[in-house]
Structures are given as C-alpha cells and as structure tokens.
Amino acid sequence: MAETPEPFKRLLALLSEVEEIELENFKLEAEELTLSLTRAMMPAIMPAMPAPEMAKPGLPTLPAFQEVEFKSPAIEYPGEIVEVQLGATKSEGGTREYVVKLGGQKIMPFYRFLGPTPNPPVVSLDVFDMPLKLAKAVRSNIEDVMEDPAEWAKRCINKFGADMVTIHLISTDPYIKDTPVKEAAKVVEDVLQAVKCPIIIGGSGNKDKDPEVLTKAAEVAEGEQVLINSADLHTYKPVVEAAKKYGHIVLSWTQLDINNQKKLNTLIMDEGFPRERMIIDPTTASLGYGLEYTYSIMERIRLAALKGDEILQMPMSSGTTNAWGAREAFLSNKKCNELGLPWGDVALRGPMWETLSAMSVMLAGADLLMMMHPGAVAGFKALVKAFTDDTSRDMPPIGNWVTMK
Amino acid sequence: MSKRLKPLDIFKYLPKTNCKICGEETCMAFAMKLIERETELALCTPLFDESKYQENKDTLIVMLRPPVQPVKIGTGEKSVIVGGEEVVYRHELTFYNETRIFIDVHDEMDSKELTERVNFVDEYTVFRIGVHLKLNGIAVRSVSNDPAKFAKTVEEILKLADLPLVLCTFDPKIMKAGLDAAKGKRPLIYAATVTNWEDIAKLAMEYNCPVAVFSTDLTTLNSIAITLQKAGIDELVLDPGTYFGENIGATLNNYTLLRVAAIEAGAESVGFPLMGVPATVYLEGDKGTESAWNETIVGSMLIDRFASMLIVHNVELWSLLALLTLRQTIYTDPRIHPAVDAGLIKIGNPGVDSPVFLTTNFALTFYTVKTDLEQAAIDSWLLTVDTEGIGVESAVAGGQLNAGAVADLIKETGLEEKVKHRKLIIPGMAARISGETEDSTGGWQILVGPRDSSAIPKFLKQNWEAEATA
C-alpha cells in the first residue's frame, strides 16, 4: 500500500470535514498546505463556491483580499569563486597603472536577492599583430590603426572604454606569416608600453608554435601578471611553466566539455600551479551557432563551483568575439537582399549579436568578456553597471505603458 | 537544490501491474517517461478508471504538475501555452514553452496601420536551422478610454488573423467590452491590480479567461495572486514590471527571484508564468533606433532570465531576428546531442564531376551548409567529418578537424570511386589545414572555400565553373 504523504493526509482530513468548515477558515488552512493541493482539489472541496461557468454574470462570490508578505528565497552555496588579479602595479613588480580583479562571487550571477557581486565582469578588446579580415562594422572603427598594434591598443582603452586589451599574435602561425618569435615578443613590449592596463597575450592557435611564442612573450612581460591565452590539453605544460617562471596568469581553455575542463584544470594544478592564478575558458560559440552549449556549460561550471567543486572555482572568460563568426552578424544588406533574408540592417545586427552573446554569457557566469565592437562594449558596460548597482531609489511608474500613444 | 522528482517517487503510486496499456513495457519505464514529460499520466487508464487507485491518482496529478503552471492563451492552431517549466537551469532538464512574443497595437491606430501591423505579426517568419521562427500574438491596448472603440479594434484584429490576444486595460468596463468582442477566443486579461482585482476576477470567471496580475511590489503581486487563486482562478500570469535603462537591474533581480522562489523554494503562490513588457521602453518616447535597441536588450535579458511571454513594440527586422534567435537558443532541448552522423551525403543529384564540400558534424554547421547548398540547387557531395560535434573554427583549433581525419574519411566513404576529379573544397575557416590535407590525402587538390557557406554559389562561379570550362 502506497504511503500517503503528510500534506495529503491533512488535506484528506480536511476533506472529510469540509461541510463543517467555513469557507474563510478553510482557506486559511489551505495556505498552510501547499497551494498546488488546493488547486487540484478546488472543485471537490469548495461546494460553497459556485463553479465559474455556473456563476451568474457579475455576481460571483469573491474572497476578501489578504495581504501575504512575499519572502525572497534564501539559498546558501557552500563554495565561492577564487579571486584572481590580472596585472601588477609598480609596487607589485610590474608597470601597470591599475589591476583588474575577477571572481570572489558567492552567488549565481546577479542573484542580487542573495547578495552583492564583488568583482563585476570586465571587457577586454581584441588587438591583432597584423591587419586581418574583420566584419565591416568592426573594421571601420580601427582601419587606420590596424598596421600598428600599439596604436590599436591605445584606441581600445582611451576611446572605446575597454578595461583591458588582448594582443593576438596570429601572424606567428607558420601557415599565415610565420613571424619569428622575437618579432612577436617585440609587439608585446610595444603594447605594454602603449597602454597601462593589464593585458592578455594570445597565440595564433598553432599547437606546435604557440608554446614557443607564448613562452617568449611571457619572458618579455615578466612581472606584469598578464593573462596567457591559452593552455589547452596539448600545450599546457610549457605554457604553465612559462607562467610560473615569469609570474603570469594562465587561461585554461577547453571546448564545450565540462569533463575536459576539469581534467585540464587538474593537470595544470598538478604542475604545482595555484588556482589563484587560473582563469577558465570553456569556449564561447556564437549566438545562433551553439551559444546554448556555452550558456549551459558555464551555468553548470558556476553551479558546481558554488556547490563546492574546487576544480571549477576559477573565474570564467568568454571569447565573445566569436559572435562575429555568425552570418547574421556580418552578412551585408545587399547579400541578404539577394538571398531573400529578412534580417534588417547589418550595422545594427552585428553589434546586437555581440551584445546579446556578451549579456547571455555574463548571465551564465562569465567574468571576463573578450569583445570587438566599441558600440557593443559601451552597451555591455552600461548593463554591467545597472546589473550590479543595488542602491535603492524611487522607481518611475511603468503601468501607464498600457495607455501610451 | 532542485526538487526534481525521481522515477521511484512516481513509481510507488502507479498500479505496478506492468499491464502495458500506457504503451510502456513496465510501470517503472512509464514513471521514467513521465518525469521526462515524454508521456502523459492519462494513458494509465487503470489509474483513472479503478476507484482503488483514486488517492494515488490525485497524488500523482499534484506531484507531476510543473512548479510553473502552464497557461493557455488563445484557441485553435495558433494558441500558445506559456509557462509549464520545471527547472531554473536548462541543463537540469530543458525549458519547455519558449517565450511567446506578442506585438502591441492600440485602439486609436487607423485601420490601415492596424491592418499592416496585424498582418505583419501573422506573416512574419524567419528560417533558422530547419525551423520557421514566428511571432505569437497581438497585445491590444486601450488608449482611447472608450469601450466601444476598444471592442471595435478587437473585432477588427480577429477578422484579420486568428492570433492569441492580450487585452490590455486596467478599466473593467473597457475590458468587458473587449472580452465580449473576443468571446470564445481565450484572450489573456491584462491586468488585475490591487485596485481593480475584484472586477477583473469576476470578468475572468464570467469569460473563463486567463488573467495577468500586475504589481511592481512583490508582496502586492503575491497577495493578488493568492486572492485570485482563492477565488478559484488558477490560470495566472505574473508581471512584476519591466524597468529598463539604469533600472534594468531591479527587473533582472525580480524575475530571477520569482522563478527561483517558485521552483527551488517551492513558493507555489508565485508558481505561474512570468511576463515581461519590453515595450515600457517607449514610455520615454519613441527615439527610433535607440528605443528599439534598448527594447531588444530588455527583451533578450528576459528571455535569458525566465519570462514566458513578452509584449514588444518595435518590429525592426534586426531586432526580431535577434530576439527570436536568442529564444531558439535558450529553448533548444539540451538533451539532444549537437552532433550528426559523419560520412558522405548527396545534395541533389551529384555525378562524377560534381564538387565535393567538406564540413563538420556539429549539427548547426552541418544543417547550415546543407541548407545553403540545397537552396542554391547545387548538385554536390557533402563530406562530413566527425569532429565530436564541434564547429569548423573550434575543431581546427582543437585538432578534431585534421588532415588525417579527412584522408581516412575519403577512404571510408569510397569517395574516390564516386567522383572522377580529385578536388576537395574545404571551409574557409579550415584554411590552416589545407597544406597538410593535400599531403595526407595523396593526390587530392584542396580548394579553400568561403568562410561562410552562403558565399558558395559565388565561389563556384569563380573557382569551379571557370575551371571546368577552361
């Protein structure tokens, strides 16, 4: 015989007495039960109340209004995100004018009802060591500085409001320009001279050459606590060694696979590398082309971290620029017309694509957003501010939207 | 933290006779499918027919009800269910009923504008990854303050399209006129507030329609919802208010805490679908692109964070594309693996001289390329590499798309017997592996195609046909 759950027993008890119970009283009791029970049983236990279809129009019986305080849910997470500092000032052995701190959260992203967000997400803008093909909306803002990474970096900080810049040494790829390691290191030095923000150094993605490139770059940036982008399952050993030797942070990068992320993080930690110097990047797919996987893997990582999984408690980074790989972001108006695609103006489509990708991954747990379009960055930074600002204020009336002309 | 049921929780209330009437082999299998919402309790007819199971049946009905109630708006083919959700995080199961998007109109629009707008909502569609994405309905606002005008507008809309409606006015007299005009169409009544709830409740009962509750104060929202439920009205939608601009954080917080409360804290008084009104952005006046941009941001945030329906004002194509794509993203079932089968497929009727394209088995990439080739009517062969469901750019970076894998696939699929030529067109984003692939495939010439498959027709014109005629 199946066991009757406790609330149900009480309901059955109530049911047997239903005739003696005043409607008002019954309802007070019902509140102590679960409301879904009352919903399910409503027709059976409310003989005193006419069913809606039987009601005389205009004359149904209504209960009295009762104010019931709404209590915010309380959730406690046992774990928290490790705080990681990018950049080092003079007193810390570097030459940065400011540092950026990530992590420290004890709650899911912007669950303001549970607590504050200690280190709000930051933006790093992309700089490349050679001109490359970029969406027109992006290119038009930087066309005149694409030959000069240092100037490009300056513009990102001074004009576009980025917190950091990422210098991608893509020309080192043997299949692109095969730029010698020494030359690439010189570009890093130039950028460190040009801007005084913390920086991120990226390779070309060539697994054979990247360790050599990133090691040399780490050497010339010694003490600056740069973020090395990145260590993956193939390249982590030399990259971690260089970061250890020259005092940097490592980006632990895997591809949309939470188990691989745990594996790589463990391998890096096994090298004697501390969690306080690691950031994780589970890969950001573009809106419309796999963002759902990124979104859920980030949520899973952050939830696991807050529930106490120490291997996943590092801040997260997102290569949001991948948004520009979506055709919706770059396909010209002319091309859309030819193909019969009702997509609207590309000048807005592109930046919106990047903004929504950034906002979504931020809501899933990303702390560091690598972006490309100045307009998207401005909009995104305004959102970060509004999401974290919990000062109480008078809110404007909004119910009148119904009658606006 | 999630209060998700386990199969055993359900199983113990089932008949345990393994009678197979429900179509499953065992009661346990049925219990598992019930939890995944892949079958319906009503299929267990003994449970419903035999009086000895009545208690168990009632228990199961309550247990299986999603913590966010499903609410139906509209009638017929285009009617929609809002809500019906069980989890806060989509990876824990899936989200079921994608955010329904209603476009607003009002009763002082001239007939031409109204007709255009309603027809647009009815006909608008955008095709993505094999699916036609659509808008869901019309929100009619009374701005004239005239019941007759409101009723007439509702009638006009219903003549144009059989779309689900939201009737928007806080004045019960005007609402009644609208409900008379939309009789039998199950519009959503927007909205019951702390001042009008009694009259609105009576209308909801009289017309048997779902009701939205509006209050920016959560205790008031909760209290109205509880009072309406006491009155027997259990099809509610909650609107805690949509702020924008510098106040958008308050909205993010309210929607998040209401959903978390309903699902993880078991607060059943707020266990109803949430609705958002990005259209409030236009309270600042219509600032053109700026307003549409801000409205898109608010709407998208609410798609990410738990709104089951939205009322939107702007109908800019770039904005709708973004909203509908994000909606498709969030509401895609995460239980479905993103990889398709690797191998060789035919597009149209390819022959020995037809071009061969290479792509990855990431479902989105594969379907995008396949659709583009089909739409351009290019008879061709499509070679799909097993990249563990990863897209081109990432698979090149991660090494899943490599020269060896391509060479093996050419052998395995017998491609060399199917075409006379030895030319393979690879994605532009895989340019880096072209050299190695020429080496590994022994005799195949690698052509680096466009970065995006929409440019394939142009690419063929310049690189394939030109060569063929040369």
Q: How far does the CA of residue A50 sit from the closest CA of chain B (Å)?
A: 10
Task: Supply the pLDDT for residue B467.
Answer: 61
The ipTM assigned to this model is 0.86
Query: What residue type is A61 in one-letter code?
Result: T
Q: A275, A313 in Cβ contact below 8 A?
A: yes
Q: A26, A14 in Cβ contact below 8 A?
A: yes
Residues in chain A: 405
Q: How far does the CA of residue A226 sit from the closest CA of chain B (Å)?
A: 22
Instruction: Domain of residue A67: give its range.
Output: 10-71
The CB-side HSE value for A211 (13 A sphere, CA atoms) comes to 12
Does residue B145 sit in helix, strand or coil?
Answer: coil
Task: Give the CATH H-level superfamily of domain B70-331.
Answer: Dihydropteroate synthase-like (3.20.20.20)
Q: Which of B47, B183, B230, B324 to mutate to test the interface with A (most CBs of A within 10 A)?
A: B230
Cβ–Cβ gap A395/B454 under 8 Å: no
Longest pairwise C-alpha distance within chain A:
91
Task: Give which of A308, A170, A404 is closest to B279, Cα–Cα.
Answer: A404
**Mean pLDDT of all residues in A193-218:** 96
Q: A272, A236 in Cβ contact below 8 A?
A: no
Please indicate, yes or no, whether residues A228 and A375 belong to a single structural domain of this protein: yes
Does residue A403 sit in helix, strand or coil?
Answer: helix
Task: Supply the pLDDT for residue A12.
Answer: 39
**What is the residue whose two structure tokens read 């113990």?**
B12
Cβ–Cβ gap B322/A389 under 8 Å: no
Residue A323, chain B, CB below 8 Å: the answer is no
The CA-CA-CA angle for residues B450, B454, B457, to 5°, reads: 75
Task: Supply the pLDDT for residue A60.
Answer: 62
Q: How far does the CA of residue A65 sit from the closest CA of chain B (Å)?
A: 6
**A292-317 pLDDT tens trace:** 999 999 999 999 999 999 999 999 99
Q: How far does the CA of residue B334 sit from the closest CA of chain A (Å)?
A: 8
**What is the residue whose two structure tokens read 């030459």?**
A95
Cβ–Cβ gap A5/B234 under 8 Å: no
Residue A136 belongs to what H/E stretch?
A: helix A136-139
Please indicate, yes or no, whether residues A17 and A112 belong to a single structural domain of this protein: no
**A49-96 pLDDT tens trace:** 444 444 444 456 899 998 999 999 999 999 999 999 999 999 999 999
Q: How confident is the model at residue A20 (pLDDT cuts 50, 70, 90)?
A: very low
Please indicate, yes or no, whether residues A142 and A93 belong to a single structural domain of this protein: yes
**B257-315 pLDDT tens trace:** 999 999 999 999 999 999 999 999 999 999 999 999 999 999 999 999 999 999 999 99
Judging by DSSP bridges, how do beta strands B236-239 and A366-371 pair with one another? unpaired
Residues of chain B with Cβ-Cβ distance to A293 below 8 Å are 334, 338
State which residues of chain B have pLDDT below 70: 1-3, 466-470
Please indicate, yes or no, whether residues A229 and A295 belong to a single structural domain of this protein: yes
Please name the fold of domain B7-64. Answer: 3-methyladenine DNA Glycosylase II; Chain A, domain 3 (1.10.15)
Q: Which residues pair with A278 in a beta bridge?
A: A250
Does residue B53 sit in helix, strand or coil?
Answer: helix
Task: Supply the pLDDT for residue A30.
Answer: 35
Does residue A129 sit in helix, strand or coil?
Answer: coil
Q: How confident is the model at residue A11 (pLDDT cuts 50, 70, 90)?
A: very low
Higher-pLDDT residue of B113 and A29 is B113
Does residue B167 sit in helix, strand or coil?
Answer: strand
Taking the C-alpha atoms of residue B367 and residue B183, their distance in angstroms, rounded to an integer, is: 43
Residue B101, chain A, CB below 8 Å: the answer is no
Cβ–Cβ gap A110/B226 under 8 Å: no
Task: Supply the pLDDT for residue A175.
Answer: 85
Please indicate, yes or no, whether residues A260 and A332 belong to a single structural domain of this protein: yes
Q: How confident is the model at residue A32 (pLDDT cuts 50, 70, 90)?
A: very low
**Mean pLDDT of all residues in A250-263:** 94
Task: Supply the pLDDT for residue A299.
Answer: 98
Please indicate, yes or no, whether residues A103 and A34 belong to a single structural domain of this protein: no
Higher-pLDDT residue of A3 and A259 is A259
Task: Supply the pLDDT for residue A227.
Answer: 98
Q: Which CATH class is domain B343-469?
A: alpha beta
Q: How confident is the model at residue A102 (pLDDT cuts 50, 70, 90)?
A: very high
A29, pLDDT greater than 60: no
A364, pLDDT greater than 90: yes
% pLDDT > 90, chain A: 77
Cβ–Cβ gap A110/B249 under 8 Å: yes
Q: Which residues have CB under 8 Å from B54's CB, separation 6+?
A: none
- Mean of the per-residue pLDDT values of chain A: 87
Residue ranges of the domains in chain B? 7-64, 70-331, 343-469
Task: Give which of B214, B213, B165, B161 is closest to B187, Cα–Cα.
Answer: B165
**B402-449 pLDDT tens trace:** 999 999 999 999 999 999 999 999 999 999 899 999 999 988 999 999
Cβ–Cβ gap A66/B318 under 8 Å: no
- A225 to A211, A214, A312: CA distances (angstroms): 18, 14, 21
Query: What residue type is B348 in one-letter code?
Result: G
